[in-house]
Structure 1
């Protein structure tokens, strides 16, 4: 925080120290915790220092980690494992994901995790993005115009120009220090998500009005102009093109923006445009 050495977290010095020690011990033991954003930022700073001490391997560093961590039978062996995992990583052992607001006091929450863990959230989200991009482009241009789900280039995937720029950046971050294991895991998850999207589309079909259900109502169906018809098929998510209720792009644009797609039927409609007047030259 600006002007402060660290966040006080509304606690006394001893209470704050015990709180951070508990958070860091839980993070090292479970590799992922959920807390408030302020606590996550302070716990991440302390966790970076403890993992760095664990990598040193000296007697003095060992005494320092023992004096800081709780549950030595669970945390100390895990710290040795993390020291081997991050042997080539110069720093940045933690990652913070925003996680909405807490029910009750509405405090902003966050997920604090160790990078390159077996259930790395960033790697899973990147794999989903890869699978989705392959699925959407295969539907648009045909399955033979793009790599298939089972043929991801594991050796050079972060430089594949067929993916979006942000996706390639995240791919490079996920495999930078993970090695061959991270590449195989990323390709495996991307393939799994691609095949799941493909199977869902084949089984459920596109998002459409469920005419069979409407007919089954007969005379007992609801009446009125504002009747919400039942739909079948895969739902169109926010920010995704397609769907029966998608509005037309605004005048002068070829496609809708992500915000306009997210608004759906509540987006601003095409307004009235003044017709073009063609002046006639009198002879």
Structure 2
């Protein structure tokens, strides 16, 4: 086998690596998390994130590009409908790699790679829900005063954090 032009491949040639990454990404989109070696997980992460970016675009051209890589139409449909909707507010970082130790047989470092389908910031989502509930429950005049007070408190807290950061420098 000739030496690859741009660094080592995962166990074989460039075509074998492309097929392996396509199959791993199909399994990741089907099961939402898979266990594999750390090296394969690190190679899979940018590949899968690129496919999710195509899915977020959602047009016919993107669907055909993904279908050229993953041949299972059911998995591609799930990627474009379920997964793309779950990560539509996220700008990147659709996958998470967690090391889980070494494999018993050959002591290979193992990792779990999973899709990050949670909201971007859980804290911001809770604050939005609380603000919406407060606006619904309170009269209009009182809710406007509460929102103004909340903004003032938030600005003061931000100023304190900025001041403490400058003091530590």
Q: Which runs of 5+ in 1 are unaligned?
A: 118-171, 184-283
Q: What secondary structure is seen at the aligned counterpart in 2 of 1:100?
A: strand
User: Residues of 2 paired with 1:48 and 1:176: CA distance?
Assistant: 24
User: Residues of 2 paired with 1:53 and 1:173: CA distance?
Assistant: 19
Conserved? CA contact 1:28–1:79, under 8 Å: no
> How far did residue 57 of structure 1 move?
1.3
Is the alpha carbon distance of 1:176 and 1:68 closer, same or farther for their aligned partners in structure 2, counting shifts above 3 Å? Answer: farther
Q: Which runs of 5+ in 2 are unaligned?
A: 130-169
> How far did residue 175 of structure 1 move?
1.5
Q: What's 2:14 paired with?
A: 13
Flag the structure with higher helix content. 2
Deviations 1:83-120, CA, capped at 9 Å, x for gaps: 11111110000000001101111000000000136xxx
User: Residues of 1 paired with 2:78 and 2:120: CA distance?
Assistant: 27
Conserved? CA contact 2:38–2:111, under 8 Å: yes
Trace 1:119-130 onto structure 2 (pairs within 5 A).
Answer: none
Conserved? CA contact 1:116–1:174, under 8 Å: no
Conserved? CA contact 1:36–1:110, under 8 Å: yes
Q: What secondary structure is seen at the aligned counterpart in 1 of 2:91?
A: coil
Give TM-score scaled by structure 1 length. 0.40
Which of 83, 106, 122 is equivalent to 1:175? 122
Trace 1:43-62 onto structure 2 (pairs within 5 A).
Answer: 43-62=44-63
Q: What secondary structure is seen at the aligned counterpart in 2 of 1:33?
A: strand
Trace 1:1-283 onto structure 2 (pairs within 5 A).
Answer: 8-116=9-117, 175=122, 179-180=125-126
Is the alpha carbon distance of 1:14 and 1:116 closer, same or farther for their aligned partners in structure 2, counting shifts above 3 Å? Answer: same
Structure 1 segments of 4+ aligned residues over 3 angstroms from their partners: 4-7
> How far did residue 174 of structure 1 move?
5.8
> How far did residue 79 of structure 1 move?
3.2
> How far did residue 70 of structure 1 move?
3.4
Q: Which has the higher contact order (CA 8 A, sep 6+)?
A: 2
Give TM-score scaled by structure 2 length. 0.65
Is the alpha carbon distance of 1:66 and 1:88 closer, same or farther for their aligned partners in structure 2, counting shifts above 3 Å? Answer: same
Deviations 1:56-85, CA, capped at 9 Å, x for gaps: 112211110111113212342243211111
Deviations 1:223-259, CA, capped at 9 Å, x for gaps: xxxxxxxxxxxxxxxxxxxxxxxxxxxxxxxxxxxxx
Deviations 1:249-276, CA, capped at 9 Å, x for gaps: xxxxxxxxxxxxxxxxxxxxxxxxxxxx
- Whichever of the two has the greater Rg, that structure is 1
Is the alpha carbon distance of 1:173 and 1:80 closer, same or farther for their aligned partners in structure 2, counting shifts above 3 Å? Answer: closer
Conserved? CA contact 2:55–2:79, under 8 Å: no
Is the alpha carbon distance of 1:174 and 1:100 closer, same or farther for their aligned partners in structure 2, counting shifts above 3 Å? Answer: farther
> How far did residue 7 of structure 1 move?
5.2
